[in-house]
Chains A and B, each alone.
Chain A
Amino acid sequence: AQSVTQPDIHITVSEGASLELRCNYSYGATPYLFWYVQSPGQGLQLLLKYFSGDTLVQGIKGFEAEFKRSQSSFNLRKPSVHWSDAAEYFCAVGEQDYGGATNKLIFGTGTLLAVQP
């Protein structure tokens, strides 16, 4: 069965420092991968997605993620973190049905990012 692991429950970085949030997935075929961000009491906002092609994906708010098939990873990165980036980040893999259409999203447990001034 498909699964997503985010090994870091909580991460604290200093403002201006670089950031990498880890995500590992378990999936038999080529996965559809997503990163979402959630601010407290809010819904989820799509940061970026990977379906195929270039393994380095650019997203909104200066985020990028790299798909590494050999490591079954899709880590999220940002070169310089801003205080407004403090939020919960969820990695997700799209579960494909028999017809190849992605239906459900399988979410990781999330990583809570705190940003120190």
Chain B
Amino acid sequence: GAVVSQHPSRVICKSGTSVKIECRSLDFQATTMFWYRQFPKQSLMLMATSNEGSKATYEQGVEKDKFLINHASLTLSTLTVTSAHPEDSSFYICSARGQFYEQYFGPGTRLTVT
């Protein structure tokens, strides 16, 4: 149980385009999901907290107009990187909060902007 999927696992896009990443909780309902960014050989940086049916809460320094988050259902949250630039290239990981406040993580999405 407690499986979280992400799609796509890898994406390459051109500078200026937008990319959507999906995060799904496959066998449980998640009212709260989280989006992280991880740079090579570093820890996870929380970008935003996504609550089903409401606006996401962004961490300080994260541009909400650039990183659009939608949590339309109890099993799906999406992160859209708008007008992507090479500096947005990173490993993006989502998680879903479980029953006892633990988080279950997706496998991550490697974004490369050329």
Contacts and interface: CB of A to CB of B under 8 A. Distances in A.
Q: What secondary structure prevails in chain B residues at the interface with A?
A: strand
Given A42-B108, A44-B93, A104-B34, A34 B102 contact: yes
B108 A41 contact: yes
Given A41-B110, A43-B108, A45-B105, A104 B44 contact: no
B44 A107 contact: yes
Nearest to B100: A51
Contacts of A103: 32, 49, 97, 101
B101 to A, nearest CB: 4
A43 B43 contact: no
A29 to B, nearest CB: 14
A67 to B, nearest CB: 15
A59 B46 CA distance: 25
Nearest to B98: A46
A33 to B, nearest CB: 10
A5 to B, nearest CB: 12
Contacts of A104: 34, 46, 49
Interface of A: 32, 34, 36, 41-46, 49, 51, 90, 94, 101-105, 107-110
